[in-house]
């Protein structure tokens, strides 16, 4: 089955770090740009970061310098290293595949990140 599965969420104190993972199944991972999108409780969708097939990376202003996106094609996995976490980073984090038409055609189920003391 074509799918994305996130893991690594949890409770972390302000200023702490967390690494999210997203594992792909049943498609050619190396052919797709990948993105992270987050959603705070009761709020809308917020784009976080992207990585291209060549490893080029892009970030939203709110996470630039604190978060790092990477991919490991041999493990068909996408990562989001989150440092200096703040309360307003609390959200469900989704990984998403960008298709040939540039829209997000495949999403994971999300992993919850809570930043609280």
Min CB(35)–other proteins separation in Å: 7
* Length of the chain (residues): 117
What's the min distance (Å) between Cβ of 117 and other proteins? 27
Q: Are 7 and 24 in contact (CB under 8 A)?
A: no
Q: Which two tokens stand for residue 113?
A: 């990140």
- The full DSSP string for 12-45 is E-TT--EEEEEEEESS-GGGSEEEEEEE-TTS--
Positions that interact with other proteins (CB under 8 A): 35, 37, 44-47, 50, 58-61, 94, 99, 101-105, 107-110
Task: Compare residues 1 and 74 and give the one whose CB is closer to other proteins.
Answer: 1
Q: How far is the CB of 91 from other proteins (least distance, A)?
A: 13
């Amino acid at each position: 089955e074509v799918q994305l599965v996130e893991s690594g969420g949890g409770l972390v104190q302000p200023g702490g770090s967390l690494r999210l993972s997203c594992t792909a199944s049943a498609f050619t991972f190396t052919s797709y740009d990948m993105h992270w999108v987050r959603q705070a409780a009761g709020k809308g969708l917020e784009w976080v970061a992207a990585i291209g097939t060549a490893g080029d990376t892009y970030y939203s202003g709110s996470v630039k310098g604190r978060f790092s996106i990477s991919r490991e094609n041999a493990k068909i996995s996408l990562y989001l290293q989150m440092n200096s976490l703040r309360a307003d980073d609390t959200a469900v984090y989704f990984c998403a595949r960008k298709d040939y038409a540039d829209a997000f055609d495949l999403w994971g189920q999300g992993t919850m990140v809570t930043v609280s003391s």
